[in-house]
Structure formats: structure tokens, C-alpha cells
Amino acid sequence: MSILKKLASQTAVYGLSSVLGRMLNYLLVPLYTSVFLPAEYGIVTELYAYVAFLNILFIYGLETAYFRFSSQGKGYNYFNLAFTSILISSFVFSGVIWLLSDSIAQILEYPNKAHFIRWLAAILAIDAIVAIPFARLRQIGKAYRFAVFKLSNIGINIFLNVFFIVLCPLILTDHPESFIRHIYNPDLGVGYVFLSNLIANGLYLLFFYKDWLKVKLTFNAAEWKRMMKYAWPVLIIGFSGVTNEMLSRAILKYRLPEGFYEGYTNLEILGIFGACYKLSVFMTLAVQAFRYAFEPFFFAQAKKKNSPQVFSRVMTMFVLFTSFSWLVLCVFMPYYAPIFLRQESYLMALDAVPWLLGGGLFLGVFYNLSLWYKLTDKTLYGAYISLIGAFATFILNWSLIPVMGYMGSAIATFGSYLIMVFISYWWGMRHYAVPYQLGRTLSYVLFAGAGILINGQFEQSVSKSVLIVLIFLTLPIIFERESLFRKRS
């Protein structure tokens, strides 16, 4: 159990940095939905959807490859190699985007906003350059330093957003001749969201200054090819994963028939759906925190005799926690959603959120299952699974959006992750059998889903929601009673 406690403690630290950080960052959503109209927020939603795709391209699987190869005993050599590769490619990729920024802005129907594209190009480059240093912190167990850096970045980003979007207009209203007029341009509007992100990310370069002093830029063609052989399927997996998460926000504006929602433009609906999608971040954070700790954990545990049993127990506990979270977030949504989404128009897409949260749960299960192809160096299978999921996402979004609007996108997210879970489990049991407790895990998911459905059939009340949650909690008492009530020696 000490192994699981170590994983739990590392997950807690990564979770604190991710959950607390993203929760702090999430405080910007009420700000954005108070200040920006849905059409303006739609610009942020769409551009960051494309950034998510490009983030995968900029890192191209080398983060996971670094974990795999550094575990073989030459961690810092592979660190130098991976860092050198990403540094060079980042300058190339961002340079191309910078040069084509005017054309890209025209294609996306955002004329006169090419500077947004250039800022995002710089953000992408910095994110990629610090990816391997952050991976090294995880690899050597420096979870607290990882957390401090992440939280500092988020805190700076929040401060800059509040400064530019709230404080500067207030100061200029009372003091028109203030020095603020030299650093603030009211016409920039949502551009300050991107500019704040750029400045905050730029400070990452200062955070890692000690690491830069130790880096030795080097390139070994043979070792790089070995890493890329492992990494390129991970790249495909990453692209496919982002497709599952972001495709709806990338194509909704274009695939939704004009006038589908009376009184709203497609860009406004994109902004509304994007804001409601933010409510699913709570599940995403739990999965992300777990993933940060689990990936180096299972590589370290793989050679131990009881590792399959440990992995099975981790899966059971993970599904219990995420199923409980899914239920709680859904049944209490009417109470906390208006706190984050300040204008009533943003609340119209709340019915899509339970599907998005459920999709996040299955994504976490897929991350659990992914250990089989990473430990057996069969990452190509992971690429196949992810491509199937991405294809399902595309087909479902393409066919359902014109018929069901944003609900089609939410259902597509749920369905594609579920398909990936089934396929990964089926193939995984053939190549790296883990004795998962299917009865328990399925019970947790099904009971949570049933509770959400039942809750939606009756008039909303706090007492009813609390009762549903308490009924769900009887499951772990029944199934986990031996471990819960085991006497400590």
C-alpha cells in the first residue's frame, strides 16, 4: 500500500497545482462572461482550440519518449537531446506561423487580428521549450517545484488579465491623463487574453534559468531516431486526443446551420458552448493530475512482480473517485454554474455538460489502460486506437451538429472516448493482461450515470441531490469494506 500512497501523494501535489491553478484560472471565466459578449468569447474559444492542436505538433511525442528512455539510466543525456530537438523545431514552426499570420487571420475570418496569431505563435514556442524541463521535474520526483512554477504562471496570468481588462479601464475612467493610457489600448479587447498569456509564459524562461545553465545542446542522429520511433505514434495519439476534445469547438461555427438557434449567430453559439465546456474542466483537472503522477509511476513499477495487481487497484480507485465526481458535479450544477457563467445567455448549453464530464471520465480510464502499449513499446497500437477515436469524433460531430447543434458535439465527445476504452481494454488484455475488477468499476460508472438521469427527471432541490449522492456512497462501503475497515497492525 506504500506504493499506492506514494502515487496518491504525488497525484495530490500535481493535483493541487493543476486543480488549484486551473480553479484560479477558472475565475477568469466569470470575468470573461461578464465583460465579453458571446461572439467575442467565441474568438477566444476558437483560437485556443487550434492552439491545443498545435501544442501536440510542437512537442511531437518527445515528452513521453523522454520518460521511456531516461528510465533506462541515461536521463540527462536524453534530456539534452530532447530539449535540443524541440528548441530547433519550435523556432521553425513558430516562424512559419508568424510569417503567415496575416493569411491565417483572413482564413479564420478575423481580419485585422493577425497580431493575435503572432502572439499565439510565441506562446506555442515557449510552451514547447519548457515541456522537457517540466517533464524532467516529474521524472526526478520534483513535484513541489513543478507545482510552484505552474501556479506562479497561472497567478501572473490572472493578475495581468484583471489588470488589463478591469483595472486599466477603471483607472482611465477616473484619471484620463494617467500613465495607463500609454500601455492600454481599449480597442484591443479580447486580445488582452492572449497578451496576458504570452507575458506570463515568457516568465517561464526565467523560472528555469538554472536549467538553462546546465543544458548542453547536442544532437545524436542514431539516438534521436530511436526516440522518434517511439515518439511518432505518441504524436498521433496526442493529435487524436486533441481532436476528441477540441474538434467540436474548431468546426461548430462552420458546421452549424445558420439560424439553427433563433436569435443567435454561429459565433455566439460557439462562445456559449465554449463557456459551458469550461464546466467540464473539473473532471479534466482530476484526470490531468492523475496522469502527471501515473505515467512515471507505471514505468517505475512495471518490473515488479505484483505490478498487474497494483495497476488493477489503481484503476478501481480512479473510477470510484471520478464516478463520484461526475455525479456530484452534475446534480449540483444548477447551483454553481451561474457563479461562473455570469450572463444568462451562457447558461443555455448546460444540458451538454453531463455528456462532456462523462467523456472526461472515460478519457481518464483510457489513460489508465494506455500503460499496456507504453510498457510493451507497442505505441503504434495506441496510435491506432486514438485514430479510431478521432475518426469517430469527426464522423459524429459532422453528422450530429447539423441535427442536434452543440448537443451533438457533447454526445460525440462521450461516445468517442467510450469507443477508445472498449478497444484499448480488448487489445490490452492480449498483450499485457491486468486483472481489472470489471464488476466494481462498471458498477461505479453505471450507478453514477443512473443517479444523473434520475436527478434530471425531477424538480431540482438540494435535499434530493444530497440523497442521490449518499445512495451512491453506499457502493464503496459495500465493495471496499475490507480495505476501508481493515485493522491496522
Contact (CB, 8 A) for 191 and 116: yes
Question: Which residue intervals of 163-280 are DSSP H helices?
Answer: 168-174, 191-202, 204-207, 209-214, 221-255, 266-277
Average pLDDT of the residues in 403-417: 94
pLDDT of residue 6: 58
Looking at the chain, the whole-number percentage of residues with pLDDT higher than 70 is 90
Average pLDDT of the residues in 113-133: 95
Going by pLDDT thresholds of 50, 70 and 90, the confidence category of residue 21 is: low
pTM of the model: 0.76
Q: What is the pLDDT of residues 448-462, one digit of tens each?
A: 999 999 988 877 788
pLDDT at residue 196 above 80? yes
CA angle 176, 180, 183 (to 5 degrees): 130
What 3-state DSSP class applies to 331? Answer: helix
Average pLDDT of the residues in 258-281: 90
Average pLDDT of the residues in 299-315: 80
Going by pLDDT thresholds of 50, 70 and 90, the confidence category of residue 273 is: very high
Three cell numbers, residue 369: 489502460
What is the enclosing helix (H) or strand (E) of 411? helix 406-431
Tell me what the pLDDT averaged over the chain comes to.
86
Q: Give the separation between CA 417 and CA 322, rounded to whole angstroms.
A: 15
Q: At what angle do helices 462-479 and 438-456 cross, to 10 degrees?
A: 170
Residue ranges per structural domain of the chain: 2-484
Dihedral sign (CA 303, 304, 305, 310) = negative
Three cell numbers, residue 331: 446534480
Contact (CB, 8 A) for 57 and 97: no
- 3 vs 468, higher pLDDT: 468
pLDDT of residue 482: 64
Q: Give the separation between CA 371 and CA 309, rounded to whole angstroms.
A: 13
- 203 vs 9, higher pLDDT: 203
Range 281-284, long-range pairs (CB < 8 A, 24+ positions): 281/22, 281/26, 282/325, 282/329, 282/357, 283/322, 283/325, 283/326, 283/329, 283/356, 283/357, 283/360, 283/361, 283/364, 284/360, 284/363
Q: What is the pLDDT of residues 32-76, one digit of tens each?
A: 988 998 889 999 989 998 998 999 999 998 988 888 887 665 555
Give Cβ neighbours of residue 31 (< 8 Å, ≥ 6 apart).
161, 162, 165, 166
CA angle 20, 24, 26 (to 5 degrees): 115
pLDDT at residue 23 above 70? no
Contact (CB, 8 A) for 93 and 58: yes
Q: What is the pLDDT of residues 310-344, one digit of tens each?
A: 888 889 888 998 999 999 999 999 898 898 888 88
- Using a 10 angstrom Cβ sphere, with 0-12 exposed, 13-18 middle and 19 or more buried, the burial of residue 486 is exposed
Q: Give the separation between CA 166 and CA 160, rounded to whole angstroms.
A: 10
b/e 104-117 (16+ beta carbons within 10 angstroms → b): bbeebeeeebbebb
